[in-house]
A and B are shown apart, each in its own frame.
Chain A
Amino acid sequence: MDFFADYTLRLVAIGSAVLGATSGALGSFAYLRRQSLLGDAVSHAALPGIVLAFMLTGSKVPLVLMVGAGLAGWVGTLAVQLIIRRSRVPYDSALGIVLAVFFGFGLVLLTYIQKLPNAAQAGLESFLFGQAASLLKRDVVTMAVLGATALVVLILLWKEFKVLSFDPDFAASLGLPVRRLDGVLTLLLVVAIIIGLQTVGVVLMSAMIVAPGAAARQWSRRLAPMVLIAAAIGIFSGVTGSILSSYVPRLPTGPTIVLVLSAIFLVSLFMAPNRGLLWRTLRFGGLRTAPDLDPVLMHLFALSRQHPDDPEHGHSVAVIQTMSPPDDKVVAALERLADRGLAQRTVDGGWAPTPIGRREAQRILDRETGAGS
């Protein structure tokens, strides 16, 4: 079986590459905006849209099903917005609710139409886990046109999307229409998801959204390289997964693509320079504090300096709380500092830095003032 000779393999590989590039690039923004779960909710919410589109039109033309999927996914994001605006349900719970309700409804519809006495509905269930072998040339063309359109919009609105993702309040203060931009970026994410539904399926599609961006972040310090690397990882996973599944009998394409992607993600997580876990352990293993503990340790150190003759004098949690942002979990931070041997409880129920803690605080202070001026 030769890659260039095998028509089906070539088609599947091109389709998977389109899907990988689009989901990698747009997924990077979802990852940076902490909207990874949104991708999961949208892809699951697309299922009833696919089935309804078929029930209403009787057609299995990909564009019809994709429009159905896109509309349902879009309604899903609107439902999430509505829930968090009108109730006290937090964002992650709203996503979970929408995901479960839409996906459940989609499964009910799917089961229902499979009991109908004609065979036209056969194959719709393949949208659950994807069926790359069913890709036709017109499907790949549709995917390519949608993907290219989404990427062109992304490039045109690049700087707006960047400032929106980094600092939405500042973007609004510049006079940018942040709510509309947010809507466009979410719409592009929906497009990226529906492109992949036929190949990877609604269940695994969120991996295609999250993993390339998360892996690429490990290797890059700036946004443009990150998005390019994410797209490259998406393309590589798509093509490699397609080839592997065509060589090994009974290996499903969609899940194989996701497994290749997961392997790349794991390697990135451990091996990347600077951000990789291996690197960090080698380089920072000796450090005793975590970044979010520093402020509390510094407050404790500042307080202890008010008693130069008795540095182990205890200070109440209430005092440290007033020095910190109101929602900081000061007690938890103090206990974690104690776990690291940097702070200790005193006999009167207060807190004081240990000698090691004071040395560490002095070191942080030197570093901050040394580099700050």
Chain B
Amino acid sequence: MYEGKNEWALEVEDLTVAYADKPVLWDIDLRVPKGVKMAIIGPNGAGKSTLVKAAMGLIKPVAGEVRIFGEPRESSEGQIAYVPQRSTLSWDFPTDVIDVVTMGTYGRVGWFRRSGAVEKAEAMAALEQVEMTNFARRPIAALSGGQQQRVLLARALVQGAPIYILDEPFQGVDAPTERAIIEVLNGLADQGKTIVVVHHDLQTIPEYFDAVLLLNVRAIDSGPVAEVFTEENLRLTFGGRVGVLAASGADQL
């Protein structure tokens, strides 16, 4: 179903996750080819954030396994750069922009050591990519929503990982930020990085992504946008509630 691609960046097999007996993800199978930009879409409570967290090992599944470039997830730390949902963080934390971005290097700086000039330079380079150089010394409490999102993206950039997972990066950001993020993601895809984005705006799927997973507790379908982003699949995922949105989204295909 993916043309000319047979190497998987991320494989999820038989994944089931439950919170207090209630399954939030049921028997998910997913294969993300290397170098693809994939959106995960589904209604509220579909388990989108849970899926990406389980894929990274942040949540313990009831069953199932995750492989990264063919290796078990447990033995491949540091392969995924993660951009969590902006709203889940405490932005009142006493720190500034450059410090948050430098956190992306903490995985490789090593125990008992401090990040130094090299790490700071990497962080500044990442800030330049998201056009936030002038904000390096700004306390994070003083940032707008769009600026917060750019900082989180910059922090993921300095990780230099082959896979990027972003949870709702366009939620509540201004239009220039949305364009800036998309440009950075396109640049990463050109370098052969694999990108997985939890997304909620159906209209922009065909423009922004080349693969999609439709999720509603179960995996409804996944594959190239042209094949699986269909009205039928959207109805199965969202349950007929998105008639207007679905029609306009699917029309662009």
Contacts and interface: CB of A to CB of B under 8 A. Distances in A.
Nearest to A34: B90
B107 interface: yes
A159 B109 contact: yes
B204 interface: no
Interface residues of A, number: 37
A368 B174 contact: yes
Contacts of B96: 221-222
Given A88-B20, A166-B93, A372 B106 contact: no
Interface stretch (A100-108, A114-122, A169-177, A191-199): A169-177
B82 interface: yes
B111 to A, nearest CB: 8
A369 B112 CA distance: 41
B243 interface: no
A88 B21 CA distance: 12
A159 to B, nearest CB: 5
Nearest to B102: A159
Interface residues of B, number: 47
B89 A172 contact: no
A320 interface: no
B61 interface: no
A8 interface: no
B58 A176 contact: no
Contacts of B87: 325
Interface string B172-202: 1111110000000000000000000000000
A32 interface: yes
A88 B173 CA distance: 35
A173 B80 contact: yes
A157 B174 CA distance: 37
Contacts of B175: 369
A32 B106 contact: no
A173 B45 contact: no
Interface in A192-249: 217, 220-223, 225-226
A295 B86 CA distance: 14
Contacts of A34: 90
B147 A372 contact: yes
A371 B147 contact: yes
A40 to B, nearest CB: 21
B147 A166 contact: no
B5 interface: no
Interface stretch (B64-72, B138-146, B217-225): B138-146
Taking each of A156, A176, A325, which has the highest tally of chain B beta carbons within 10 Å of its own beta carbon?
A325
A372 B53 contact: no
Given A170-B103, A175-B107, A373 B176 contact: yes
Contact of B77 (A88, A175, A367): A175
Contacts of B58: 169, 172-173
B115 interface: yes
Contact of B144 (A217, A295, A368): A368
A44 to B, nearest CB: 26
B56 interface: yes
A165 interface: yes
A309 interface: no
Contacts of A173: 56, 58, 80-82
A223 B94 contact: yes
Interface of A: 32, 34, 88, 156-160, 162-163, 165-167, 169-176, 217, 220-223, 225-226, 295, 325-326, 367-369, 371-373
10 contacts: A159-B109, A165-B93, A169-B58, A173-B56, A175-B78, A368-B174, A371-B147, A372-B144, A372-B174, A373-B176
CB-CB nearest 4 A-B residue pairs:
A175-B77, A174-B107, A373-B176, A173-B82
Given A174-B77, A175-B107, A222-B94, 14 more contacts: A32-B94, A165-B93, A166-B89, A167-B84, A167-B103, A170-B155, A175-B77, A176-B107, A221-B94, A222-B139, A225-B94, A367-B144, A372-B147, A372-B174
